[in-house]
Amino acid sequence: MIVQLKQSEAAADLPLPAYQTELSAGVDLQAALTEGSIELPPQQRAAVPTGLFIAMPEGVEAQIRPRSGLALKTGLTVANAPGTIDSDYRGEIKVLLINLGAEPVTIDHGMRIAQMIFSPVLKATFQLTNKLDNTSRADGGFGSTGLYEGAKQQDSREPS
């Protein structure tokens, strides 16, 4: 698959996105900052520019995901993970980061802040109906399958 890429002047000194290992699923995105660093206090978020603009084929999306090491070490993660870039979007890719850690995090120019993964998109056609097929789960929602394999889940609505 060919993805066309344009860089802004802010990213001109940064390398193009690349897979870091032969079996990597995603490419790292770097912060493209024109003036200094961004100090992100705990529980705050920022749209961090990457200086990248892309054009993907129809039927493909780019997903923006956290970098696991960054999330573990600092609490910095992607607020809308995964963020979706549609194949018809031509604006700058910005990463919506949030600091879930206890300390401020400094984001510098060139820092690898997220990863981008490409994925095929399936388009749905909706058909209105009055009844859906039944499954063993039915309408069981959040937590309905329990925490452990084989453990009996007690319904919170029943008395203990």
Domain residue limits, the chain: 4-120
Tokens 């309408």, residue located: 139
Share of the chain above pLDDT 70, in %: 93
What CATH code is assigned to 4-120?
A: 2.70.40.10
Phi, then psi, of 71 in degrees rounded to 5: -65, -40
CA dihedral of 109, 27, 62, 110, whole degrees rounded to 10? 0
Report pLDDT for 148: 87
* Contact yes or no for 76/18 (Cβ under 8 A): no
Report pLDDT for 156: 52
Rounded Cα gap, residues 158 and 160, in angstroms: 6
What is the value of pTM for the model shown?
0.84
Would the pLDDT of 92 be above 90? Answer: yes
Structure confidence at residue 160 as a pLDDT band (50, 70, 90) = very low
